[in-house]
Amino acid sequence: MNILIFSYLFPNSNFPYYGIFNLSRAKALERAGCEVTVIAPVNLSPYMINIFPRFRLLESIRLFKKMVSIPSVEYIDGIKVYHPKWLKLPNKIFWKYHSDIMHLFIGSKIQNIIKYFNPDLIISTWLNPFAAYSVFFKKKFPIINFAIAEGSDLLIHPYVFNGWSKVEEIINENCDLVIAVSNSMKNYIEHRTNLRKVEIIRNGYDDDIFYSTGNNIKEKKRILKIISVGNFYFVKGQDILLEAFTHLKIPMELTLVGDGPELEKCKEYVCTHHLEKIVHFIGEVPHNKLSSILYQHDVFCLPSRSEGFPAAPLEAMGCGLPVVTSNVGDMDEIIVESFNGFLFKSESSIDLAKKLTLASLINWDKKEISHWVANNFSWNNWAIQILEKYNDYSAKKMEQLFV
């Protein structure tokens, strides 16, 4: 069975950790016996943060050079990935037209890839423009289309940018299934949108990489070591976590893993507030090396302003770390308070500081945390459910042909 993954969220040679969860999905599908190819379009437009409120020429030039030099075709962990390049126009005006604009720039390249690979299933992750692009798939190819609602693409963008009703209509007409990554996401879709054909398939994590080392020694540490992993975007909330450190009264250290457009602003904040001795930026870390860094810490923090069902806290739990996270998205389906972490009030640095302080007082059972997440979440299980849904919808299409 051939499966095509269509999303900008996928690692490449210049940004090897970007959208790493989609690489995990692809590898799980391969382990399930599928052949997987990826189309991961590259947007050459500058980040708005580098233009407004002040123009950052050098940052824009560096980013453009990195984006342009991404290979048109490459292999990531043995998976063939195509990177057609396009220009995404400003969201404020053109958001609802992004699938049309993408088609204008790279439509012929996408269609040629599909003709060559001949997929049985297309999985689009991120609703607009990728799931919305299904309108062009359906015009030429009788292929089953699944769309995954990841988080901000459903929870934020439809309320910030104009045109959601158009996007919604396209998805309903051209996607066979909309995948919600959790119960709360499904409830949100059913009560706040008109999207149809929605079913739950929960995200997972790589339990062969992130697992307990067996060390479950409970000891009182002088300094609590906190780690946060994620790209530096406003929605990820690293600024909230840094502000929380100005409220903390107990000895703590913070390690921030990742890169992105908000990184320099966070570094400036650390310098301005004299946090250099306790806050450490270590850049991007290879996914298969991340567990060795997680083992060196005591608590994982996810301060996001919005999330769907992220893999990062699952990976941390796999290594035995408790998680302190904002009460957004589906975090309440992951966190069992006082057992594997705490929830804090979204965007409240004061409440985050309180929950981190509380986490420092608990002797967490790392083995039980790791066993719990391993028993409940897995990318392999995710892949099995995807194939089951494909078989269901394929059978329905066959029935319709003979009615």
Contacts of 305 (CB under 8 A, 6+ apart): 234, 235, 236, 237, 240, 326, 328, 346, 347
* Beta strand residue intervals within 230-328, DSSP E: 252-257, 279-281, 299-302, 323-326
Mean pLDDT throughout 125-146?
Answer: 95
| pLDDT value for 62 | 87
CB-based contacts of 185: which residues, under 8 Å, 6+ apart?
149, 154, 200, 308, 309, 329, 330
pLDDT digits (tens, 9 = 90+) for 350-391: 999 999 999 999 999 999 999 999 988 989 999 999 999 999
With contact defined as beta carbons under 8 Å apart, do 322 and 359 qualify?
yes
Tens digits of residue pLDDT in 142-179:
899 999 999 889 989 999 999 999 999 999 999 999 99
pLDDT tens column, 224-273:
999 999 999 999 999 999 999 999 999 999 999 999 999 999 999 999 99
Label residue 59 by pLDDT band (50, 70, 90).
confident
For 323, the token pair is 């998680």
Please tell me the CATH code under which domain 224-376 is placed: 3.40.50.2000
Task: Name the helix (H) or strand (E) containing 351.
Answer: helix 349-360
Residue ranges, CATH 3.40.50.2000, the chain: 2-204+378-401, 224-376
- Of 42-51, 148-157, 207-216, the range with the lowest mean pLDDT is 42-51
Question: 135 with 129: CB under 8 angstroms?
Answer: no
* Dist. CA 7–CA 2, nearest whole Å: 16
> If pLDDT is split at 50, 70 and 90, which confidence band does 128 have?
very high
CATH of 2-204+378-401 among 2.40.50.1040, 3.40.250.10, 3.40.50.1000, 3.40.50.2000: 3.40.50.2000
Say which residue, 218 or 43, is predicted with more confidence. 43
Which two structure tokens, joined as six digits, stand for 265? 């602003």
Place 213 in a pLDDT band, splitting at 50, 70 and 90: confident
Angle at 135 between CA 64 and CA 178, to 5 degrees: 90
